Amino acid sequence: MVLFPNCKINLGLNIIRKREDGYHDLETVFYPIVLKDALEAIRTGEQGIRFSSSGLAVAGNPGNNLCVKAYRLLQQDFPEIGGIEMHLHKQIPMGAGLGGGSADGAFALLLLNRLFSLDLSEEQLIRYALQLGSDCPFFILNKPCFATGRGEIMRPVTLDLSAYRFLLINPGIHVSTAQAFAGIQPQTPAKSITEIIQLPISQWKEMLINDFEKNVTILYPEIAAIKEEFYARGALYASMTGSGSTVYGLFEKGTNPTIQRQPGWTVYQTD
């Protein structure tokens, strides 16, 4: 069985408060994007999981991959789950604010649910996904959502951007969580993201803000330069996604912006 985990972008990201448990409350809109990995699993008739990957190099111990953790998480409650061989072909860059690892973990849950006919509900899958990471539950729903809390409290929103073209540039910079949060001063925004996204896209530029951008672009000016380049090429809206480093631009469909690629950049586009 093969599934294709897709990534996401953040439309606005406000850090509202620091919680007693050390996490931060935020608000954002998650929007799915069609850049995808490929995840395949087959039964082996043995015990345990054999995991492999190709494409972009996956850092760290394979045993700590979220796909492997998803398998072990479900097997705790469903010991009848048998052995599998799982392969991940990685195309979504990591540490890029696109949620690629979270998507892989969530899609592993979906795949195992189907492969072993566990009949888990969407609500149950979301609870398991939250144990893998704050962004993982979104990929169970996988449609535009307004997210609060750590990102796990979600409400679908009506937002269709299929009439536009997305251009994404990953400059090959890994932004650590500590770097992204350095200097952040949580505060409640004057206008909620849910209100802003209902306005014409031409008004988003001055209102739809990613709170991480200010600090990250000071550390890495090339991220700010990409955003400026998008606007120079006619973007209706441009922003860094998540804690970076990927920047996306939203263009009228039919336009073909010419971007001068730099060494280390990876460029993606949707039509």
- Asked about 8 being catalytic, the answer comes back as yes
Higher pLDDT, residue 257 or 166: 166
- Asked about 135 being catalytic, the answer comes back as yes
Q: What is the mean pLDDT of residues 48-52?
A: 95
pLDDT at res. 152? 86
pLDDT at residue 101 greater than cutoff 80: yes
- The pLDDT-based confidence of 241 (bands split at 50, 70, 90) is very high
pLDDT at residue 10 greater than cutoff 80: yes
Contact call for residues 29 and 11 (beta carbons, < 8 A): yes
Percent of the chain scoring above 90 in pLDDT? 75
pLDDT at res. 216? 92
Quick one: which of 142, 213, 230 has its CA closest to 179?
Answer: 213
Quick one: which of 115, 118, 136 has its CA closest to 2?
Answer: 115
- The pLDDT-based confidence of 113 (bands split at 50, 70, 90) is very high
Percent of the chain scoring above 70 in pLDDT? 100
pLDDT at residue 45 greater than cutoff 90: no
If phi > 0 it is left, if psi is from -120 to 50 it is alpha, else beta; for residue 48 that is left
The full set of domains in the chain, from first to last, is 2-156 (3.30.230.10), 164-270 (3.30.70.890)
DSSP string for residues in the chain? -EE--EEEEEEEEEEEEE-TTS-EEEEEEEEEEEEE-EEEEEE-SSSSEEEEEEES---S-GGGSHHHHHHHHHHHH-TT---EEEEEEE-SPSSSSS-HHHHHHHHHHHHHHHHTT----HHHHHHHHHHH-TTHHHHHH-S-EEEETTTTEEEE-----TTEEEEEEE-S-PPPHHHHHTT------SS-HHHHTTS-GGGTTTT--BTTHHHHHHH-HHHHHHHHHHHHTT-SEEEE-TTSS-EEEEEETT--------TT-EEEEE-
pLDDT at res. 20? 86
**Which residue is catalytic, options 8, 37, 211, 227?**
8
pLDDT at res. 88? 98
- Among the residue ranges 2-6, 127-131, 251-255, the one predicted with the least confidence is 251-255
**Which residue is catalytic, options 37, 90, 104, 135?**
135
Between CA 37 and CA 35 the distance in angstroms is 7
Tens of pLDDT, residue by residue over 164-218, are 999 999 999 988 888 888 878 899 998 999 999 999 999 999 999 999 999 999 9
- Among the residue ranges 91-100, 118-127, 231-240, the one predicted with the least confidence is 91-100
pLDDT at res. 147? 96
